[in-house]
Amino acid sequence: MLTILKNRFEQGYRTCSYPKEKPAVFSRYRGKPVIQKTADPDMVNACADACPQDAIDVDQKKIDMGRCIFCGTCERLSKGEFVSFTNDFEISTAKKADLLTDGELPSLADHAKQHFKKLFGRSLQLRQVSAAGCNACEADLNVLATPFFDLARFGINFVASPRHADAIVVTGPVSRNMKTALLQTYEAVPEPRVVIAVGSCTLTGGPFSHSGEVAKGLDTILPVDLFIPGCPPHPLTNLHGLITFFK
Amino acid sequence: MTQFTTIPWGGRVQRADIPHLPFDTFRTQALDIVKNGGKVVQFFAYEDQGIMKFMAVLRTHELLAAGCDAPEMYPSLTQECEPFHLFEREIAEQYGIRPEGHPWPKMVRYHENFCSKPDVFNNDYTEDIPGNYDYYQVKGDEIHEVAVGPVHAGVIEPGHFRFNCIGERVLHLEIQLGYQHRGVETLLHTAKPKQLPILAENIAGDTTIGHGLCMAQAVEALASVPVDAGAKIIRTIALELERLANHIGDLGALCMDVAFLAPANYFGRIRGDFLNLSLLLCGNRFGKGLVRPGGVRFPLDDEIRKTLDERITELKPQVEHVLELIFSASTVRARFEGCGSVNTADADHLGLVGPAGRASGLAYDARRCFATEHYPHLLIPKNAKPTGDVDARARVRYDEVKQSIDIIQFLIGKSVETQPVEGGIAALQALAPSSLAVTLNEGWRGEVSHAVLTDDAGNILRYKVKDPSFHNWNGLAMALRDTGISDFPLNNKSFNLSYCGFDL
């Protein structure tokens, strides 16, 4: 008993005060990319060639956060003169087209489906479906239930059955072998239902987009309401996406 | 006297120097080595100038390799020696080569073979669902079946579990995977150099460093690229951070499954703190983007080193106190002890590796037996346990958590100078022709291995990946025999195997 109490005392109170205050993340974290439009075209081309995900649109001088895995190759190559990754983790979007960005993102809270806030703002139950995810996106969703993030304080929970859920949260590039199970899970969620896509694999196929075994983005299969980019998205990115979109 | 030849791990061998044996000799000798205590590291098929070939890499106290031409069908090795079991099924699925007399000729991942041959399993792949298969059934009036998955109750990867039970008691568990199949091996050998390291890191995101290291070491061997001592230390720290985060997460999850919620939450939070230390090193919580052929992309400068040191110093007593809390609780021991035992003989037959193997008395640890990076300079204890139950699997993690913290603290104390690399693309474009490199690393689940063969132009001819889960899933099935079905979640957590690492 004494050990239990000693441990409880040592652990203390650990929940972050987000969204009131933004918790600090270590400096090497790569969040929202910001583009310098004045960059030398040769530099832009070099970055586009080097990008392992072919995520850079040379003509528009923009970066596709749906394809990007935030490896930072372009930032290092251009020494920040074309792309620099900020510490800003608030990068989710309500429209896929908005993922192609120069660093300016529309306000997520002002998305077109405001009725979701009335329906789900005080209680949102999520059913997670891993569809060929590498377990990184899954792990950083799971971690939202730990005391630091404490997702439940916002009335949001992961539940065990699609029948109990308002939304599905999909991770992974949707392999051929998981497609049927994913669609059945979606069908099992009562309407009105929400679809949330988490991670670059889910948004565009990510690093696996050249494989014939996976889909080229969840939106080719289901109507997606919320796009959360990253490889994997930082838990704070997930948290920001969920509470800003629904609350 | 074996005709298999000794090869270096993490080194390059000319393919011409690997014995190409007649099939019968290959078979007899491979069986001989494994029956006498050897283990299968890699056994795969590949196509070379229109000819199908086999390559086997076995381990005793050293690595042994040989190849042969692959027959259309051949007498299964598994019927005489179990550790070949899944490898033969995988070859049948990938290349349509039938192992005659295989005791369990079932598909592995449910996909068409790579060479448009008739399917060995008579599957219709226009059907989306793996599971188009008659599961093993126990017959009897009081037998019932329980089907779980592919979509599970938690936030985890998909797979199907089929239990044959009598009452609460599990007589047999069959595990059908393949839902996560992304075509990784095909992608790896067709990928552009700039994509290949990314693919390797995403084979299993929770083993980013384990698979990333295997990829980097193989490319370094094939392109003769040196790695400086500093990079080796950073990679070793990263691999131990990965082990720590996952082991701590597992111990927390085990507590959750025996309803001891306080330590489950403490370790849930502390696991995140260790993931954040990977982010401190390289900007990603899973270490993605750190390891590349030739070294690492991020140096360990003094400021980062100081923060790392402070955080570890702060976390160490917390971890120790929670460990003490868990393992001194009689309620925990009552659930852990004697639950889901796999004895040493069974573990040996199945070829279990990593913490699951060590919990069943198999002391093998690639960090000690085939040391790479900074491990030749470190003392890795044996950590083997005799009981093979959930308790043993938890206690292996208990030992390794403490050791990994010590290793990291020791390595932070060293001054680390390294010249950061970028994508390793030059190395990937300069692979030696007609060569083989086999790499082994002890990821947190056990032995991760990559084998890369190049053709006579220096292109990748075959990229073979093996995650430790490939060895261990049948260990979980074995643990469930004669165990209450309500103890399945606990046993599953105690193995915590990879679905995507297996499904590729």
Q: Considering the domain boundaries, does residue B131 fall inside one?
A: no
Q: Considering the domain boundaries, does residue B489 fall inside one?
A: no
Q: Considering the domain boundaries, does residue B142 fall inside one?
A: no
CB of A52 within 8 Å of a chain B CB? The answer is yes
What residues does B161 pair with on adjacent strands?
A: B148, B175
CB of A2 within 8 Å of a chain B CB? The answer is no
* ipTM attached to this prediction: 0.93
Q: How many domains does chain B have?
A: 2
| Residue A121 distance to chain B (closest CA, Å) | 22
Listed residue (B139, B175, B138, B177) closest to B158, CA to CA: B177
| Residue A88 distance to chain B (closest CA, Å) | 13
Q: Considering the domain boundaries, does residue B191 fall inside one?
A: no
**pLDDT, tens digit (0-9, with 9 covering 90-100), for A114-144:** 888 888 989 999 999 999 999 999 999 999 9
* pLDDT for the residue B225: 93
* Contacts B126 to A, Cβ<8 Å: none
| Residue A130 distance to chain B (closest CA, Å) | 5
Domain end point (choices B438, B454, B470): B454
DSSP string over B10-21: TSEEEGGGS-EE
Instruction: Nearest chain A residue to B203 by CA: give it.
Output: A134
Q: Which two tokens stand for residue A172?
A: 């992974």
**pLDDT, tens digit (0-9, with 9 covering 90-100), for B346-377:** 999 999 999 999 999 999 999 999 999 999 99
Domain end point (choices B100, B124, B148): B124
Q: Which two tokens stand for residue A9?
A: 């005392």
CB of A208 within 8 Å of a chain B CB? The answer is yes
Question: Which member of B297, B304, B324 has the closest CB to residue A3?
Answer: B324
**pLDDT, tens digit (0-9, with 9 covering 90-100), for B16-57:** 999 999 999 999 999 999 999 999 999 999 999 999 999 999
**Helical H segments across B343-422, by residue range:** 344-350, 354-359, 366-369, 390-412
Give the Cα separation of B448 and B468 in Å (integer): 5
* pLDDT for the residue B474: 94
Map out the domains of chain A as residue ranges.
109-246
Q: Which two tokens stand for residue A141?
A: 């969703």
* pLDDT for the residue B22: 95
Q: Considering the domain boundaries, does residue B166 fall inside one?
A: no
pLDDT-derived band of residue B422, with 50, 70 and 90 as boundaries? confident
**pLDDT, tens digit (0-9, with 9 covering 90-100), for B168-206:** 999 999 999 999 999 999 999 888 999 999 999 999 999
CB neighbours (10 Å) of residue B419?
A: 11
**pLDDT, tens digit (0-9, with 9 covering 90-100), for B460-502:** 999 999 999 999 999 999 999 999 999 999 999 999 999 999 9
Mean pLDDT of B223-239: 94
Q: Considering the domain boundaries, does residue B433 fall inside one?
A: yes
CB of A105 within 8 Å of a chain B CB? The answer is no
Listed residue (B160, B131, B179, B153) closest to A163, CA to CA: B153
Question: Which member of B179, B194, B321 has the closest CB to residue A178?
Answer: B179
Question: Which member of B158, B184, B282 has the closest CB to residue A28?
Answer: B282
Checking if the pLDDT of B129 tops 80, the result is no
- Quote the crossing angle between the two packed helices B229-257 and B302-327, to the nearest 10°: 30
Give the Cα separation of A209 and B77 in Å (integer): 37
Subunit contact A147:B187, Cβ cutoff 8 A: no
Amino acid at B403: Q
Listed residue (A148, A145, A149, A211) closest to A174, CA to CA: A211
**Sign of the torsion formed by the C-alpha atoms of B348, B349, B354 and B355:** negative
Mean pLDDT of A187-198: 94
Q: Which two tokens stand for residue B365?
A: 């640890």
Angle, alpha carbons A222-A150-A120 (nearest 5°): 45
- Say if residue B81 is in the same domain as residue B212: no
* pLDDT for the residue B426: 83
Checking if the pLDDT of A1 tops 80, the result is no
- Strand extents, DSSP E, chain A: 33-35, 56-57, 62-64, 83-85, 100-101, 124-130, 156-158, 167-171, 194-198, 226-228
Pair B35, B81: CB distance under 8 Å: yes
Radius of gyration of chain B (CA): 22
Subunit contact B128:A180, Cβ cutoff 8 A: yes
CB neighbours (10 Å) of residue B288?
A: 26
Instruction: Nearest chain B residue to A14 by CA: give it.
Output: B269
Give the Cα separation of B151 and B158 in Å (integer): 5
* Contacts A14 to B, Cβ<8 Å: 269
Which residue has tokens 């014939």?
A212
* Contacts B187 to A, Cβ<8 Å: 208, 210-211
Q: Which two tokens stand for residue A52?
A: 């392992």
Subunit contact B180:A132, Cβ cutoff 8 A: yes
Subunit contact A30:B197, Cβ cutoff 8 A: no
Pair B223, B432: CB distance under 8 Å: yes
Checking if the pLDDT of B424 tops 80, the result is no
| Residue A38 distance to chain B (closest CA, Å) | 25
Q: What is the mean pLDDT of chain B?
A: 93
Q: Considering the domain boundaries, does residue B482 fall inside one?
A: no
| Residue B430 distance to chain A (closest CA, Å) | 17
Give the Cα separation of A40 and B25 in Å (integer): 63
**pLDDT, tens digit (0-9, with 9 covering 90-100), for B6-19:** 999 999 999 999 99
Instruction: Nearest chain A residue to B299 by CA: give it.
Output: A28
| Residue B422 distance to chain A (closest CA, Å) | 8
Instruction: Nearest chain B residue to A87 by CA: give it.
Output: B283
* Cα dist from B503 to A175, B147, B210, B254, B475, whole Å: 11, 20, 17, 24, 17
> What kind of architecture, by CATH, is found in domain A109-246?
3-Layer(aba) Sandwich (3.40)
Pair A206, A231: CB distance under 8 Å: yes
Mean pLDDT of B218-236: 94
Classify residue A190 by its DSSP letter.
Answer: P
Alpha carbon of residue A78 to chain centroid: 26
CB of A247 within 8 Å of a chain B CB? The answer is no
* Contacts B325 to A, Cβ<8 Å: 3-4, 7
* pLDDT for the residue B153: 84
* pLDDT for the residue B425: 84
Share of chain B above pLDDT 90, in %: 85
* Contacts B179 to A, Cβ<8 Å: 132, 175, 177-178, 181
- Say if residue B368 is in the same domain as residue B225: yes
Question: Which member of A73, A142, A210 has the closest CB to residue B155?
Answer: A142
Question: Which member of A136, A179, A211 has the closest CB to residue B187?
Answer: A211
CB of A13 within 8 Å of a chain B CB? The answer is no
Strand order through the sheet with B160-166: B143-148, B160-166, B169-176
Mean pLDDT of B401-410: 96
* pLDDT for the residue B131: 66
Share of chain A above pLDDT 90, in %: 78
* pLDDT for the residue A113: 86
| Residue A176 distance to chain B (closest CA, Å) | 6
Four-CA torsion B343, B346, B350, B352, nearest 10 degrees: 20
Domain end point (choices B124, B150, B165): B124
Please compute, for residue B387, the number of CA atoms within 13 A of its CA located in the half-sphere on the CB side: 13
- Say if residue B220 is in the same domain as residue B366: yes
Checking if the pLDDT of B122 tops 90, the result is no
Give the Cα separation of B344 and A218 in Å (integer): 45
Report phi then psi at B267, rounded to 5: -75, -30
Which range marks the domain in which residue B211 is found? 205-454
Mean pLDDT of B394-419: 93
Which residue has tokens 């009897």?
B140
* Contacts A8 to B, Cβ<8 Å: 262
**pLDDT, tens digit (0-9, with 9 covering 90-100), for B439-461:** 999 999 999 999 999 999 999 99
Subunit contact A133:B503, Cβ cutoff 8 A: no
* pLDDT for the residue B130: 67
pLDDT-derived band of residue A167, with 50, 70 and 90 as boundaries? very high
- Say if residue B209 is in the same domain as residue B120: no
Question: Which member of A7, A129, A175 has the closest CB to residue B325?
Answer: A7
| Residue B496 distance to chain A (closest CA, Å) | 12
CB of A50 within 8 Å of a chain B CB? The answer is yes
Sequence-separated (6 or more) residues with CB below 8 Å from residue B439: B9, B10, B213, B214, B215, B217, B218, B221, B372, B449, B450, B451
Give the Cα separation of A196 and A144 in Å (integer): 15
Mean pLDDT of B283-300: 94
CB of A244 within 8 Å of a chain B CB? The answer is no
